[in-house]
Structure 1
């Protein structure tokens, strides 16, 4: 890994920039130009995120007018990672999921300039769409983003029945007819009797893949990622749904606010509220499968030894750019302590989960 990150040059007319600011909480997009490696791309740009739109350093979603661009993508997300003092927890998490055999978006840090002014370090995230599938030689299929806690695989939330069973799930790829497959999955989860559930759910869900995802979410302790901040993909060959991680900045011992989260906060079964997880872990053979996958990950991938070089390399890569980032450079002392904090979290979290393996 070199000691530099790519520079992206965003050119946007002032009237369009003001339009974005006036429509801060909407998905209003405006035209702009993005130069990457001296190649100009016509784009549409908008703010992204929920509560993060009100931060001083905002995140963006960029749509390319021509998918035959230098990146070979239709869309990218540029995350400010404003509340993560390390600016690399999201990337560390997504790379970790790839390490344990779960498909996850590619990511890289970039230096963003807007109208020739340096706007800081951003994390570029690959969009989970049809091109994401093609890149991995995966069969085509619909993709849904889980956008809020309504995406808990239940017909209820907080004791109240939902008006729409697909509430909280936004289709990012596919056709309207694909919604029926997702409706069937949610109905199966909520109406199948306990003795039939193990056999029936296996016809709708990739169990092995789901439990790997669960193990990854539990290890990284994404408290916000069990009921949303994921995407669902239905493999058209197998007919089975798979789950993928998304937005994993509040992990490795940090809350979404940036504060410290105790390593014991999320239990070994994951955060309560996800009905699918709860039902799967009530089935002895699935619970045993989860225990075995988690135990293997704790011995091989979720260790200080495994992530140490990755963390230190990212820290070294980003530090010169952090010093110049006008939004976070005053926190350089905190940034410099982040590797040690992450190592301590992994050490304690690993021991905690190992202590509770017999609870499964």
Structure 2
């Protein structure tokens, strides 16, 4: 879950546990290599998120990547994993500290006592400070957002005051359902902190499998980890990569983000697991995201050098080329682009150019 205004201005083998989208969504579990399974969330792209979860089933144990938003969605992933294997989960990697990736930590710990949680060294402080502040704000403001979403669906009107498309209707309902789920469960969610903190690189060897956990640099947050499976050619990217629209957000570092994606591309993955969205077998979306971030950082940096205020800088930024590629004709994708790139993303780039932390 990222800071966002409450009133917004693919291939694989399905092997177990599927739930198609109705008013509620779930997961679709797909196998991509021997012992490598991804529980892909089935919500349509929206403003509210739950995370894709990866199961690495090894000879004697399991390594999981990311923990879901709520206890209920974590239990859904745990049930899917237990349908695959009875082996214990030894490690769970939190790719970063946002609640949609760590909210299920306590549920995983309850299901697998002795589990170790791996995260970046700064994640502990982020979870306790910014994460807790964002959690409280969400619990206070989320109810109004969910109500507004359902009212928009009832009226058949989008946030721009135009007729609601079917794509928007499904997204609004999915967003409302996720918000309401978190409002029910969020107050009781325990912040489970990392037991193993890494700063640069940590390699696990589980039988023949090499699990290379890296911090490639700041990006979506300062604490983003990726999990590289070099033998399989698979990269688990967390929210450094999100499809269809990148989530830049208020806790991002756009200039560093672009450089981090460059290092990610140097790993030459054959398959990328994004934090949200379907599996990517091509890297063109990552290249587009990187080029957009470079343009964003460059234009905002130039605005800062000219002495412009944040609001002046907003008017100086022109990302139409990238908007066209990422958004197309979709009003729903346009809403996401505006809510995560043009609003908090520009502010994040402005703060970064001025040397301020998010």
Structure with bigger gyration radius: 1
Structure with more of its chain in helix, by fraction = 2
